[in-house]
Chain A
Amino acid sequence: MRLRGLKRKVRLGRWLIIALVVVVVVGSLGVAYGYTSGTLRAGDMVSMACVTGPFTWVVSNDDGKVTNISPYGAIDPGDNGGGTNHDIWGRQSSDDPSEPQTRGVECARYDKDVARTTACMSCDHHEITVLVENAYPSYYPTVFFGMKNTQNFSVKIKSIDISYDTPELTVTFDGITVDQVLSPGEEVIGRLKIHTEQCAHQDSTYNFEVKIVLVQEGKSGCCCWHWWYCWHWWHGWHWNWWW
């Protein structure tokens, strides 16, 4: 009888281990799927993923409207949709900026509305797209954006890389710095200044990219389920979805 009981226990132990292994493997596979595909099937999960990205808002100072963001007030005064002596874009753009704008303060503008700059944010708040149209040498728009730590832990800005391999553009970035730490719920405002240089060619297209890498503050890359939890949290998913 004792021998049978021992055998049963061993069998039970084996099955328990196998069950645990299966659970872990399935969980891991689930993470890999969610991370690489970027597509979630459940509608409610998609909506949650759309509100948890770091970017909170984006404003161009030449899209024809003064944008108020709480609690900062008017971000881009002067972007009133007019064109003093020349107005090709109508209400979609304003007199062209000729210098970088400081948030909340009007900047110098030409008396013409020739070029236009628009900026929009992706659904998951992880990407901002800026489009400058009909630019010409010395056109100088500014794009402001909010970046918020929506997590329950501090986040550090590990790196900011601006890339554009052309002398025809000068793209500068401030308001956010490397090694800056954002506390949970803290929002910072970044500023992107785009200058079209004299050597810019007519009827051409130039591209630039800014990449910002964020890491959890005070943690290094050791193995821990905690990271998995944090990763889920970052993307606004719940344990319940997996378990």
Chain B
Amino acid sequence: MRTKRRNRFARVGMLSIALLLSLCVTGIGYAAWTDTISIDGTVETGYIGVELSPGECSSNNISCSVSDSHTLHISLTYPAGTYTCDFTIDNTGTIPVKIQSIDIDTSGVPGGVVVSVTGVYEGDQIEQAGVYPDSVEGMVGVIVPEDGSESFSFDVTFLFVQWNMYE
């Protein structure tokens, strides 16, 4: 009786082990015929950075400041004559830029006064920092007729775009 029981126990044990091993091998078999390969990508974008800086003015009657990063604010206190103010545009970014537009807001300028921007023009390109030329210089000119007597101010606003987006 004891021998029979032992034999049964041994058979069941062997069957269990065989089943377990079969399951293990099935798992290994599944892993065997698949493989995964991959392409991992990282895209790091550059940036546009432009700094506008006022330069020397031709007279104490005229002053120039930067009201925001892309706008020059020009003021005249004792008009009548020809005045100029220099400015510099620096590209501090990693992408070349072009000047899309130069907008002179003449709404506060008296009649007869002529305002112009020279040295830089729409479509001009400023290379990225570290690449020549990453800086350009321009000048705002104001011609006030002899009969002018008012103080006034106006803004010159520049719009910069990534070089290949210029239209």
Contacts and interface: CB of A to CB of B under 8 A. Distances in A.
A193 B29 CA distance: 36
A194 interface: yes
The main secondary structure of chain A at its interface with chain B is: mixed
Residue from B14, B43, B48, B96 having most chain A Cβ neighbours under 10 A: B43
Interface string A187-211: 0000010101000111111111111
A31 B128 CA distance: 55
Interface string B94-136: 1110000000000000000000000000000001101100000
A127 B37 contact: yes
A203 B92 CA distance: 13
Interface stretch (A37-45, A69-77, A177-185, A219-227): A219-227
A143 B39 CA distance: 10
B35 to A, nearest CB: 5
Contact of B28 (A115, A202, A231): A231
A145 B127 CA distance: 34
A228 B32 CA distance: 5
B162 A88 contact: no
A216 interface: yes
A134 B43 contact: no
A86 B39 contact: no
Nearest to B35: A214
Given A134-B44, A134-B45, A227-B32, 9 more contacts: A53-B37, A54-B35, A112-B163, A135-B43, A147-B37, A211-B38, A224-B25, A227-B30, A227-B33
Q: 10 nearest interchain CB pairs?
A: A231-B32, A227-B32, A227-B29, A202-B47, A223-B26, A130-B41, A134-B46, A216-B33, A210-B39, A203-B47
A88 to B, nearest CB: 6
Contact of B42 (A24, A131, A224): A131
